[in-house]
Chains A and B, each alone.
Chain A
């Protein structure tokens, strides 16, 4: 077609033509101040509400954020609870003439659990770890033989305890009289170590998963593109994730710490304000990481891979379940600058040692730096459609 201009209009009757650039109506409408809306109908509130609704209508997300950490804390807390000193199980070969008197001596020590075996079943009990040590009395009264694995510390310990019981039973008198005073320090138990670590891990997980998944889902369904076609503010869109995170953050902190405190007496020695500040900073900082993970990915599979790649090293190195000091000294500087290490260290220092705000400042700076760097990197890389 050489001339694409129309010759006549279509069949349907048209109303008045509206001249552009501006009609009176448009001009009036552009001069009109922003229509008054209640706070709940503002775009920021609506976006945040949407985050809320999407979260609570996803039962899995609620489970992983609130229920799972508590189950984990309960399980590990019970498995590693203090039960007083462990009993030492030892076996005695009962066929020797002096066996009865050795057994009598051992039974006087309350930390020992004594069982009698014949030669072959005794060897088997030792081999399978049912007993830590096997006592083989000889026919003479003044000698006894201990069979045990020198590489096992519980066996070596059993050797010491058993030998003392045997010697005392045979009439040894200790030149120095010793008495014991037992203490259990709240704050030094495994559960005390664990709860701050779980809190840190949870803050990381829910920020990164919460942002990463929601954003990439919106992108892959072209919802992000649709939103970009409205006057919605991009900053508000991103802020809405943080805003809803903050509300859930408070809930997360209270459920997990409340549970730890109520069920196990985990101490909260530091200032609660500092604790909240650490958590807030952590949530925002991990939010930056979540944003960064989500900035380019087009599919939820891709973003899952990225998020696991980011989080897995921190689950291992940052001292969630066991202290990061277990790793070699050369890697310690790298471990220390990981955001989760900083969060966990700061949480433990606050909760268990009750240190001041100033004492956790170095960690706070690490956390903040991660947040700022990842946030701006994410903004730079972000694929809005």
Chain B
């Protein structure tokens, strides 16, 4: 494995991914490449297939077709190693309500060969005051931060965050952005999903807009906003001078709800 390369290599490489459920094709031929050291955002309407895609990349779901390569490894052969290298926050996990913050993190820490200090991680997500509180007594945003802390405690190389800032107050959100930037500054990779365009613009080097299970736009936030011809936007948008990522999103994915 000594094939050290000069140019950046993909931390995540997904090709021709497909996943169908009984009544819906959740992921439909999705290709994706995330470079190492990158902060990559997956955007898309509800039900677009973001969570399904991420969970396949995390080795928690198996795809119907397509290949996934994470940090140069494959789930079929290197599961154990990959589990050590990834930090994962799922969209809807409820951690055990009866344990305290400290106990929860100590448990997660115990699974990893090379883990971070629990106290450090608690400080990183600013849950110091809640250290000995039961998880059941935490607020929604605090639980969300604990979930991120659980993802960090294994000292991962690649962080998957599925809607990490949903339900956070502005302070917590900014604090999480800081945390992500610091993580990235260590040369590590982040893949996240979000419904906040402003967040994607601030945080992500590149974003992919996913709809109906495949990618309909890909590039840096600036590329995407510059590529949008704002004169074609329906009112009231034209009064702006530059398009926002939200304009791009809405013009690409349409204005109808996806959850009906």
**In the complex the two chains form, is A232's CB within 8 Å of B95's CB?**
no
Answer whether residue A152 sits at the interface, using C-beta atoms and an 8 A cutoff. no
Contact B217 A15 (CB under 8 A): no
A43 touches B111 (CB 8 A): yes
Residues of A within 8 A of B110 (CB): 37, 41-43, 45-47
Once the chains are docked, how many angstroms separate the CA of A298 from the CA of B206?
Answer: 37
- B86 proximal to A (CB < 8 A): yes
Tell me if A172 counts as interface (CB < 8 A to partner B).
no
Given A6-B218, A15-B185, A230-B83 contact (CB < 8 Å): yes
Say yes or no: A6-B60 contact (C-beta < 8 A), given A14-B38, A54-B99, A229-B88.
no
Kindly supply a per-residue 1/0 record for chain A positions 33-48, scoring 1 wherever the CB is within 8 Å of any chain B CB and 0 otherwise. 0110100011101110
Answer whether residue B71 sits at the interface, using C-beta atoms and an 8 A cutoff.
Answer: yes
Do A17 and B37 touch (CB < 8 A)?
yes
Interface residues in A1-26 (C-beta closer than 8 Å to B): 1, 4-12, 14-22, 26
Tell me the complex Cα distance, A221–B147, Å. 13
B217 to chain A: closest residue by CB:
A1
**What is the distance, in angstroms, from A213's C-beta to the closest C-beta of chain B?**
13
CB distance from A348 to the nearest CB of B (A): 37
Cβ of A11 and Cβ of B107 under 8 Å apart?
no
Cα(A245)–Cα(B206), bound, Å: 50
Chain B 81-96 per-residue mask, 1 if CB under 8 angstroms from chain A, else 0: 1011110101011111
A14-B38, A226-B95 given; A7·B113 CB < 8 A: no
Contact present for A12 and B187 (CB under 8 Å): no
- Hey, which chain B residues are within 8 Å of A42, CB to CB? 110
Which one of A12, A21, A231, A385 lies within 8 Å of B71 (CB-CB)? Answer: A21
Asked if A22 and B1 make an inter-chain contact with CB atoms under 8 angstroms apart, the answer reads yes
CB-based contact A12/B181 at 8 Å: yes
CA distance A14 to B34 in the complex (A): 14
Q: Which B residues from 12 to 65 make CB contacts under 8 A with A? A: 31, 35-39, 58-60
User: Could you tell me if B60 and A225 are in contact, using CB atoms closer than 8 angstroms?
Assistant: yes
Q: How far is the CA of A186 from the CA of B225 in the complex (A)?
A: 89
Task: Assess A7 versus B6: contact at CB under 8 Å? Given A12-B39, A20-B72.
Answer: no
B253 on interface, CB distance cutoff 8 Å = no
Inter-subunit contact A231/B80 (CB<8 Å) = yes
Contact (Cβ within 8 A) B9 A6? no
Interface residues on A, range: 35 or more
A272 within 8 A of B: no
The answer on a CB contact under 8 Å between B90 and A225 is yes
A50 at the A/B interface (Cβ < 8 Å)? yes
Q: B106 at interface (Cβ–Cβ under 8 A)?
A: yes
Q: Are A231 and B112 in contact (CB under 8 A)?
A: yes
A35→B99 contact, CB < 8 A:
no
Other-chain contact of A20, B9, B80, B107, B205 (Cβ < 8 Å): B9
CA distance A92 to B185 in the complex (A): 103
Chain B residue contacts of A9, Cβ below 8 A: 205-206, 220
Distance in Å: Cβ of A236 to nearest Cβ of chain B: 9
The verdict on A20 contacting B90 (CB below 8 Å), with A14-B37, A46-B107, A54-B98 known, is no
A212-225 Cβ-contact flags toward B at 8 Å (1 or 0): 00000010011101
A149 to B80 Cα, complex, angstroms: 78
Partner of B111, one of A19, A57, A231: A231
Instruction: Tell me whether A229 and B9 are in contact (CB under 8 A).
Output: no
A382 to B: closest C-beta gap in Å: 15
A228 within 8 Å of B (CB atoms): yes
Instruction: Point out the residues of chain A lying under 8 angstroms from B150, CB to CB.
Output: 226
A328–B150 CA distance with the chains assembled, in angstroms: 58
> Is B198 close to A, CB under 8 A?
no
Residue of B at shortest CB range from A27?
Answer: B1
* B86 → A minimal CB distance (Å): 7
- Give the chain B neighbours of A4 by CB distance below 8 A: 31, 208, 215, 218
- Residue B138 is within 8 A (CB to CB) of chain A in the complex: no
Q: A1 touches which one: B2, B103, B115, B215 (CB < 8 A)?
A: B215
A357 to chain B, nearest CB (A): 39
Bound CA–CA A58/B96 (angstroms): 12
Interface residues of A in 126-149 (CB under 8 A from B): none
> Known: A1-B218, A230-B154. Is A19-B112 also a contact (CB below 8 A)?
no
B5 within 8 A of A: yes
Q: Which residue of B has the minimal Cβ distance to A14?
A: B37
Partner of B8, one of A17, A22, A54, A221: A17
Interface contact B36-A11, CB-CB below 8 Å: no
The reply to whether B206 and A57 contact each other, CB–CB distance below 8 Å, is no
A20 to B2, CA, bound (A): 10
Q: Tell me which of B80, B184, B206 contacts A6 (CB under 8 A).
A: B206
Given A10-B220, A50-B107, A21 contacting B73 (CB threshold 8 A) = yes
Complex Cα gap A221–B7 (Å): 42
Residues of A within 8 A of B202 (CB): 12
* Given A4-B31, A18-B36, A229-B83, 7 extra CB contacts under 8 A: A1-B216, A10-B205, A12-B184, A19-B4, A49-B103, A230-B111, A231-B80
Q: List 29 A-B contacts (CB under 8 A).
A: A4-B208, A7-B223, A8-B222, A11-B205, A12-B181, A12-B202, A14-B205, A15-B37, A15-B186, A18-B187, A19-B6, A20-B5, A20-B9, A20-B11, A21-B1, A21-B9, A22-B1, A26-B85, A41-B106, A45-B110, A47-B107, A50-B99, A53-B98, A223-B95, A226-B88, A226-B95, A228-B60, A229-B88, A230-B108
Q: Which residue numbers of B lie inside 8 Å of A, CB to CB?
A: 1-11, 31, 35-39, 58-60, 71-73, 80-81, 83-86, 88, 90, 92-96, 98-99, 103, 106-115, 150, 154, 157, 181, 184-189, 202-206, 208, 215-223
What are the 5 tightest A-B residue pairs by CB atom distance, in nearest-first order?
A21-B72, A10-B205, A221-B94, A231-B83, A46-B110
